[in-house]
Structure 1
């Protein structure tokens, strides 16, 4: 018997919600409501240098103004380091994680020497320099030992997906050189701990999915079903984000902001109250087929 539906919205408190992040929030809320499930909010604040004081509370205020209330009190990743450490310890004990002494510059130099220079905008795949040991150097980070082979999975909107993580990404970081927990480890541990069965998030995060599947398998954790939503783009065609100056939501009229977000999801404009619109969009929500990899 499948586990009861549990979904989540997991914003980073690097600033208030903008139009793009509201699309993901609304989609995840609607998916949970359409499936009769729970909807949780998790504040992903492990990358502390990028976090802005008070942004977490502002995000929660914005969600409440839009009628998007979580079914349990929110949790903050910054309070969950013990869970991440326990997961890393398990991986180390099983020989699936190892220390790495490489700097970013050294990784790029190693790739260039192998005839694999990084193209602009691409992530540099780790060349495996420290896989066989540190050779007397001091450890900086911890990495997952990624197995060979292509990872296949199915997105509920995008369809069949695949990635050769070992070739395209390499052994990815679990704990950073600055001591902070990496996103991939934190999100996988949190999704399992919170019994998340369905992840609904922006399409820009789709390329993280294969890494998370690899890590879930290494830890013996179940994986959720994924649905990646369309992105809101600026006038320059780039994804709307806090980094490129996206403006905070204007919530003087929450229904108008939600209607714009609903339109990005292929839903129709609705009259009446905010609650009426949310009920109508829940009934109209088209993504009912939940598929795994």
Structure 2
């Protein structure tokens, strides 16, 4: 049971409208709604539609239909990330002004080649908790003049957090309160494990880490209920919350619904899609049973 807070509890379900919902989404949405009801709190919905090339109004409408079919009711209006790009830019600018973010010019191919060269020499390259190689420190050490010249020349770039500098400015160990299906209690945050994370992408505005941190504060979210696959990312979010002066919610990371191959479900798994299950005569009560509720 997740504990209440002094303010009225607020929980959110935050899907991306870039595909159809599946059983894993159903578990998360139902848990958020159930816990909000148990706490006498609010159940909110957020569309994480920053990827403007993949997110569509059709998928958004399908999400509403699926949630309605599950018997869920949420507060209106729905928050769309695409309506709040200015909020994310303001947060980014505050980090840039404090010299906590820098322009990163290396492409994915260049990063891959850099890592391959290092590992070919027998030096294993550090990787983040998701297994991706950490961003090389090449751009972090550029001078201000070098950065300006490259940007003025039109060089494509993302913005990354200077993790070492950010942790130093934070100046204290970070923790979060966890009540989910894995480790619980006060969890020590280890944002350094992620290296210089992306804050603003070169091919899309903002990044998941920055936008979700700003969104949760903007919506007054007191309890974040989401899958265990995002457990370790909470370390980055706690760091950003501290740097930006934002409140820290209570976190509840729930078990994942896995496919026959033992991997987390994806939106391409048609046989676990809610629309497909509905077409085959399943009811919302059946879905609750299928996800173990």
Aligned length: 262
In structure 1, the partner of 2:258 is: 233
In structure 2, the partner of 1:123 is: 132
**Mapping for residues 31-46 of structure 1, pairs under 5 Å:** 31-46=35-50
Output one character per residue of 1:236-286: Cα deviation in whole Å (capped at 9) or x when no partner.
11111114555321234122112322x1xxx4xxxxxxxxxxxxxxxxxxx
Output one character per residue of 1:41-81: Cα deviation in whole Å (capped at 9) or x when no partner.
00101122332441111111111111111023212111111
**Mapping for residues 8-27 of structure 1, pairs under 5 Å:** 8-27=12-31
Runs of at least 5 residues in structure 1 that lack an aligned partner in the other structure: 268-293
Return the alpha-carbon distance in structure 2 between the equivalents of residues 33 and 190 of structure 1: 21
Please state if 1:194 is matched with 2:219.
yes
Return the alpha-carbon distance in structure 1 between the equivalents of residues 78 and 65 of structure 2: 12
Please state if 1:164 is matched with 2:190.
yes
- Comparing 126-135 with 174-183, greater Cα deviation is found at 126-135
- Comparing 144-153 with 134-143, greater Cα deviation is found at 144-153
Return the alpha-carbon distance in structure 2 between the equivalents of residues 208 and 254 of structure 1: 31
Please tell me whether the aligned partners of residues 127 and 134 of structure 2 are also in contact (alpha carbons under 8 angstroms): no
Return the alpha-carbon distance in structure 1 between the equivalents of residues 268 and 228 of structure 2: 17
Task: Name the SS of the counterpart of 1:90 in structure 2.
Answer: helix
Return the alpha-carbon distance in structure 1 between the equivalents of residues 111 and 269 of structure 2: 27
Please tell me whether the aligned partners of residues 14 and 55 of structure 1 are also in contact (alpha carbons under 8 angstroms): yes
TM-score scaled by length of structure 1 = 0.81
In structure 2, the partner of 1:91 is: 95
In structure 2, the partner of 1:70 is: 74
From the superposition, tell whether residues 65 and 187 of structure 1 become closer, same or farther in structure 2 (CA, over 3 Å): same
In structure 2, the partner of 1:183 is: 208
Task: Name the SS of the counterpart of 2:142 in structure 1.
Answer: coil
Q: Which 4+ residue blocks in structure 1 deviate beyond 6 angstroms?
A: 118-121
RMSD of aligned C-alpha atoms?
A: 2.3
In structure 1, the partner of 2:159 is: 142
